[in-house]
Structures are given as C-alpha cells and as structure tokens.
Amino acid sequence: MFEELQQSIKWEKVVPIKKGWSNDEKYYIETEDNQRLLLRISDIVYYEQKKKEFDIIKKYSALNFEMSKPVVFGTLKNQQNVYMLLTWVDGNDLELALPDLDQCEQYRLGREAGEILKKIHSVQVPADEFPVRTKIAKKNLQLQKYIESEHRIQGDEAVIEFINQNMNKIRSRPPVYQHGDFHPGNLILTPKNKIGVIDFNRWEIGDPYEEFYKLESFGTDVSVPYCVGQIDAYFDDDVPDDFWDILAVYVAHAALYSIKWAERFGQTEIENMMRICNKSFTHYNNFANSIPNWYHK
C-alpha cells in the first residue's frame, strides 16, 4: 500500500497508531532525512469530507502556531482509500504532562492555548459556507435520546429543564471555523515548552463558545489552572457574561448526552461519562449557577 506513495521511498520507519476515537488508520513515520510525519488513511467514501479537512488544515497552518501541518493529499489502492500526509508534532501529550507542572506553568500553557484558539476562530468564514441551520434541533434530539435511555442520572430533571429553557441561547454568536475537539488530549507539549495542536478531523463551522465545553468534560480532571488560562487569554482577561450563560447550556447538554453516546463503547465508558456528569452537576450546583465553582480570576 505504501509503495503507491512517491514519498514512501524515503521512509525508514512506519508505526501504526492506535490511540484516539477516529476511524482513520494512522501511522507515525520517520524518513531517512530525519523528518517525522503522520499518515491518515480513510475509506474513499469520505473523500470530499477529508479534502475539506485538508483544506482547513492549510488555512490553520498559516496562523503561526505549532501544529500538524499539511504535506500531501490523495488516493490509494485504485481509489479505494483517501489519505493525507501531515507533519508530526514532537513532544508529550499535554494531558499527561500538565499534572507534573507547577500551577503557574499550567496556567501559562492554558493562556497559550487560548491565544491559539482565538487565532483559529479568526479565520474568516465565507458567507456561502455559513450553516443554514442551528444545532438546536440536533441537540434537542440528542437530549431526547438520553431521556429515553436506560442510563439516567438521579436528579437530572432540573438540569433537563434548564437545558430546555435555555437552548435558544446557543444560536447567538456568528459562526467560526472550529478545531472541533480542542482540549489537552489533542494538544502536545513540545520540547520548547510550547503548545502544539493535532487532530483536526472534528473541525466544523459553528459557535465559537461551543469549543469550550470540553474543558469541563476533559480539562478539569487534568488541570484547572490550564482551563482558567485558556478562557482568560481567549477573552483578553475580560470574560463576557453571555459566555458563561451559553457555555453552561453546552456543558449541561454534553454532561447528559455523553452518557447515551458512551453506550456504544461499553460499561466502563458509560460509568466514566456518568462520573463526568456528576462532576459537572457539582461544579455548576445542578446548573443553578452559570459560572463553574472551579473558575477564579
């Protein structure tokens, strides 16, 4: 398969990557001239989707931050597969590195991540690419699936009511290009102690505030100072009130629906999402508060 790629004549090492939720086949590559690369392979039915992803990565790569940058895009195996070759970001997974750092450094890295996210959201979206629908209908359907599921959180009625009463708030911001999964699990701490960004396969066009709810889901377990820093820097240390009101809706919805989403992955993942949900209920006082109790200036 790799012999079809002209670049592969210089490859000295190819290692499969099993980490992550993506359906892509992923490979770490080292070349004879000391380059490190990432190869992602998908079924050809995703050609248009993957071509758009590669084009978005090109846009982001012009923004002057460390990231997995585009090299080449094409098809393989008589056009049965589509592939993209990207640069590799050296370093350690940020979610593993953060707990070993002092809190000031965690906060500094959070601020750097917030500045990067602000750059990503600065890319202008052409008017003809604006979504024609909001996510309200989709999220209402997801919430209903949770309500009808066999895995419910005790005392969830008040939170469901909170979501239903405030769902209309999530349509209030102009759409931006999103990373789509921006949290420490998709960031790298480079040897120069800088943030590197990877895994753009969940990019989309949508509400900029939506990018932040995964801080609650996955960030607060790793580093609260990082989460505070990302928010502070993104808003130039002046967080608007409407951010908290809108973010609380995203967090509440994700806390419940993630339990239903996890059913396809088995009991262990269901229990983990239920733990995260209960954590979110505590942080937001069952969503009687719009600002989580872990956020402090």
Residue spans per domain, the chain = 6-87, 92-283
Which helix (H) or strand (E) segment holds residue 81: the answer is strand 81-87
Residue 44: burial class (beta carbons within 10 Å; 0-12, 13-18, 19+): middle
CATH number of 92-283: 3.90.1200.10
**Paired tokens of 148:** 């009808």
| pLDDT value, residue 19 | 79
| pLDDT value, residue 23 | 81
Helix axes 157-166, 136-147, angle to 10 degrees: 170
Q: What is the mean pLDDT of each run of 10 residues along the chain (297 residues)?
A: 74 88 88 94 95 96 96 87 95 96 98 98 93 91 97 95 96 89 95 96 95 96 98 97 96 98 95 97 97 94
Superfamily of domain 6-87: Phosphorylase Kinase; domain 1 (3.30.200.20)
